[in-house]
Amino acid sequence: MRAFLFPGQGSQSVGMGAALADASRAAKDVFAEVDEALGQHLFRLMREGPEAELTLTENAQPAIMAHSIAVLRTLGLDLGAKADFVAGHSLGEYSALCAAGSFDLSTTALLLKKRGQAMQAAVPVGVGAMAALLGADLDKAQAIASAAAQGEVCTVANDNDPSQVVISGHRAAIERAIAVAKDHGAKRAVLLPVSAPFHCPLMQPAADLMAEALGDTDIKAPAVPLYANVIAAPVTDPDRIRELLVEQVTGMVRWRESIKEMRAAGVEEFVEIGGKVLGAMVKRIAPDARITSVVMMEDVEALAKEIA
């Protein structure tokens, strides 16, 4: 059994997709369609930068999705025939749903643009923060967050793998968490270079906006089940998918659990489309699983031969 995985924010880089677009008409068409849907030269920004502008949440989210879908369409495979599940990390859930046919490409780009803008606007710059707790599992991370909260928001945002958990909330609380992390058994705590505190209750205004946007969006049943971030379980019902995408804005990304559950369901191979971030996490969660990362044309050609 095989699952296709789609990366989230932080996997963007200047130059992403450029070589692929030069080599593949399918990829070029994806970038052109996204540009047209958004009414901006997003692919030029992906190709040339500047990095600071690409990193802006409202640009990074549709850019990462466009790159993943460009890789997938260059592969040219029937996802329904070659995959058993799809999953995406945070915004990657939208890429996964686009790949599985729940959203068309233009709709996905517009939703992610709106999601990025809503998440950025939910909390004034400087009020919130996020930190990675390294060498800490979920229990340790929750203890650190609880000790640091002191009446402010400080919660687990991403349970990434057994040795990396991300916390999110008010900046002062996150700074307190960093200060006490080692006392609670973490090896290290690192403030993340993000512009807003994602996946925590402070994102409720963004969740409300996405509820409105998704309420107006037609969602089709995916060709294969989606392992949803906030429940770490498969889902195919369009109305349930809509609910979970709204919950995901403030809820925890249960990535470690999702991979464990897919592995328990019989998945032997995880294919990361458009990045090399999730594969490393999967290796730490399920060391015996096979992991393939597909980013460049040579990766596409190798995988196409293997699963043709």
Active site positions, annotated: 90, 199
Q: How far is CA 136 from the centre of its chain?
A: 21
What is the number of residues in the chain?
308
Residue type, 292: T
Residue 68 Cα distances to 105, 109, 145, 162, 233, angstroms: 11, 12, 33, 26, 22
The DSSP 8-state label assigned to residue 148 in this structure reads H
Q: Is 177 helix (H, G, I), strand (E, B) or coil?
A: helix
CA distance linking residue 109 with residue 107, whole number of Å: 5
Contact predicate 103/129, CB 8 Å: no
Contact predicate 233/130, CB 8 Å: no
- DSSP state string for 58-96: HHHHHHHHHHHHHHHHHHT--HHHH-SEEEESTTHHHHH
In the sheet where 188-191 sits, what is the strand order? 154-161, 164-170, 128-134, 188-191
Contact predicate 234/259, CB 8 Å: no
Q: Where does 127-268 show beta strands of DSSP type E? A: 128-134, 154-161, 164-170, 188-191, 226-228, 233-235
